[in-house]
C-alpha cells in the first residue's frame, strides 16, 4: 500500500476571557442576545486579552496537540499555520511559533485562504507526507484572533467573531487509513465583499485609514444565502465520490461554523442526521480558520471518533474560498 498521511492527535486552545451576549446588549443599547441565541445558537465567545495574540494561541494549541500525541517538538518536520489574522504581515506566524516550541527540525509557512484555511492546510500537509519521505510529522494549526480587527459598534460583525486555535498532528502510515480525497474551489468575484481591506500594499495603514476605521473587518455586501449550502453540498458529494465512498458512509462531517442554518440545510440535503456533525458556535461563536479543528478536537476528546470511520471536513471563507477533504480516521 502507498505511503499515506493520517491524523495522530488533535488539540485546541482558546483565550480565558469569556464575552457573553449581554456584553453587546449593554454596548449597543439593544437586545442582540435573543437574536444570537435563537438564530445562530451563540451564547458566548472567547476574546484575546490585550497582550495575547495569534502566536500565543497557536503555541498553546501546538503544545496541547503534541502532548496528546506523546510527541516532542523536535519530531515535527513541518509546521503550517492557517490564519488570516497573522502575528505580523511579515515574517510568518509559523516561524515565530517554531522558535517558541523548539521545533528545531521543522520547516514553516503560513497559509491564508481565510476561513477555509485549516482544511486547505490539512490537505497540503497530507500531501507533503504522501509525496516526500523526509516528512513524517506535520503539525497543522488553524488560528484566529479576529477580535483585534473588530469595530465594536458594528453589530453586523462585533458579536459574531471570536478567537481560538486548533489543529492536528499528521503522521505517515502504510495502513488503510488517512487521507482519501480533497477538492479546492474559489469564487474570486466575491473577494471584495467581506474582509480587512487596509494594512497591506493596496491600502497601507495611514492616520486617515485608522480614523475611518478601514483597517477593521468589514461586511461590504451581503452574500447570497444559498452559496454555502449549494457549494458545500456539491463539494462534499464530489469529494466523497473521489474517495470511492457514498455520502451515506460519512460518519462525521465538520463544517465552518459561520451559520447553523447553512449546516442544517446541508445536512438535510445530504440526508444525514445532525448527530453526524459537531457544532461549537454556541460557546465559541465564529472562530474562522480555527473553528473546524476546534470542533474536531472537542469531538475527539469526547471519544466520538472511532478508528476506521469516514471523516469529512468542509471549510469556506472570504475570497470566497472553499476546501473539502475526506479522511479515514
Q: How confident is the model at residue 1 (pLDDT cuts 50, 70, 90)?
A: low
CA distances from 185 to 4, 206, 316 (A): 23, 34, 9
For residue 42, with 0-12 CB atoms within 10 Å meaning exposed, 13-18 middle and 19 or more buried, which class applies? buried
Per-residue model confidence (pLDDT) at position 28: 93
Domains and CATH numbers, the chain: 4-175 (3.40.47.10), 180-328 (3.40.47.10)
pLDDT value at residue 156? 86
Question: C-alpha cell of 147?
Answer: 477580535
Q: How far apart are CA 11 and CA 15, in angstroms?
A: 14
Check residue 165 and report its DSSP letter: E
Region 138-143: mean pLDDT is: 98
pLDDT tens digits for 11-33?
999 999 999 999 999 999 999 99
The torsion region of residue 178 among left (phi > 0), alpha (psi -120 to 50) and beta comes to left
Q: CA angle at residue 297 from 230 to 53, to 5 degrees? A: 95
- Spacing of C-alpha 245 from chain mean position: 25
CB 274: neighbour CB atoms within 10 A?
13
Please report which confidence band the pLDDT of residue 175 belongs to, taking 50, 70 and 90 as the band edges. confident
Grid cell listed for 300 = 475527539
Q: What are phi and psi of 24, to 5 degrees?
A: -80, -30
Q: What is the pLDDT of residues 147-163, one digit of tens each?
A: 999 999 998 899 999 99
- Average pLDDT over every residue of 312-325: 96
Which H helix or E strand runs over 9?
A: strand 4-13
DSSP code, position 308: T
- Cα distances from 91 to residues 110, 113, 133, 196, 199, in angstroms, run 9, 17, 27, 19, 15
d(CA 39, CA 32): 11
pTM: predicted TM-score of the whole model, two decimal places? 0.95
- What does the DSSP assignment read for 201-243? SSS---HHHHHHTTTS-EE-SPPPTTHHHHHHHHHHHHHHHHT
C-alpha 310/C-alpha 329 separation (Å) is 6
Amino acid at each position: 500500500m502507498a505511503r499515506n498521511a493520517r491524523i495522530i492527535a488533535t488539540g485546541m486552545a482558546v483565550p480565558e476571557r469569556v464575552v457573553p451576549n449581554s456584553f453587546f446588549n449593554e454596548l449597543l443599547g439593544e437586545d442582540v442576545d435573543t437574536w444570537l441565541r435563537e438564530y445562530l445558537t451563540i451564547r458566548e465567545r472567547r476574546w484575546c486579552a490585550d497582550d495575547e495574540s495569534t502566536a500565543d494561541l497557536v503555541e498553546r494549541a501546538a503544545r496541547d496537540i503534541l502532548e496528546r500525541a506523546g510527541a516532542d517538538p523536535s519530531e515535527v518536520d513541518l509546521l503550517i499555520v492557517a490564519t488570516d489574522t497573522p502575528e505580523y504581515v511579515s515574517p510568518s506566524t509559523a516561524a515565530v511559533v517554531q522558535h517558541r516550541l523548539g521545533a528545531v527540525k521543522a520547516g514553516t509557512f503560513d497559509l491564508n485562504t481565510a476561513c477555509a484555511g485549516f482544511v486547505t492546510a490539512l490537505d497540503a500537509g497530507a500531501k507533503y507526507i504522501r509525496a516526500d519521505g523526509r516528512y513524517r510529522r506535520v503539525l497543522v494549526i488553524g488560528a484566529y484572533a479576529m477580535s483585534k480587527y473588530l469595530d465594536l459598534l458594528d453589530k453586523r460583525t462585533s458579536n459574531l467573531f471570536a478567537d481560538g486555535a486548533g489543529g492536528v498532528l499528521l503522521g505517515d502510515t502504510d495502513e488503510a487509513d488517512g487521507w482519501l480525497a480533497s477538492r479546492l474551489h474559489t469564487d474570486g468575484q466575491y473577494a471584495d465583499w467581506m474582509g480587512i481591506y487596509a494594512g497591506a500594499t493596496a491600502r497601507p495603514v495611514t492616520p486617515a485609514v485608522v480614523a475611518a476605521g478601514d483597517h477593521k473587518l468589514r461586511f461590504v455586501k451581503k452574500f447570497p444565502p444559498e452559496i454555502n449550502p449549494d457549494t458545500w453540498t456539491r463539494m462534499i458529494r464530489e469529494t466523497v465520490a473521489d474517495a470511492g465512498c457514498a455520502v451515506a458512509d460519512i460518519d462525521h462531517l465538520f463544517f465552518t461554523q459561520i451559520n447553523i442554518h447553512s449546516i442544517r440545510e446541508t445536512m438535510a440535503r445530504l440526508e444525514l442526521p445532525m448527530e453526524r456533525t459537531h457544532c461549537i458556535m454556541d460557546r465559541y461563536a465564529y472562530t474562522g480558520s480555527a473553528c473546524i479543528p476546534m470542533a474536531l478536537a472537542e469531538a475527539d476528546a469526547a471519544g466520538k471518533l472511532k478508528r476506521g470511520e469516514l471523516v469529512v471536513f468542509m471549510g469556506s471563507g472570504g475570497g470566497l474560498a472553499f476546501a473539502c477533504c475526506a479522511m479515514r480516521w
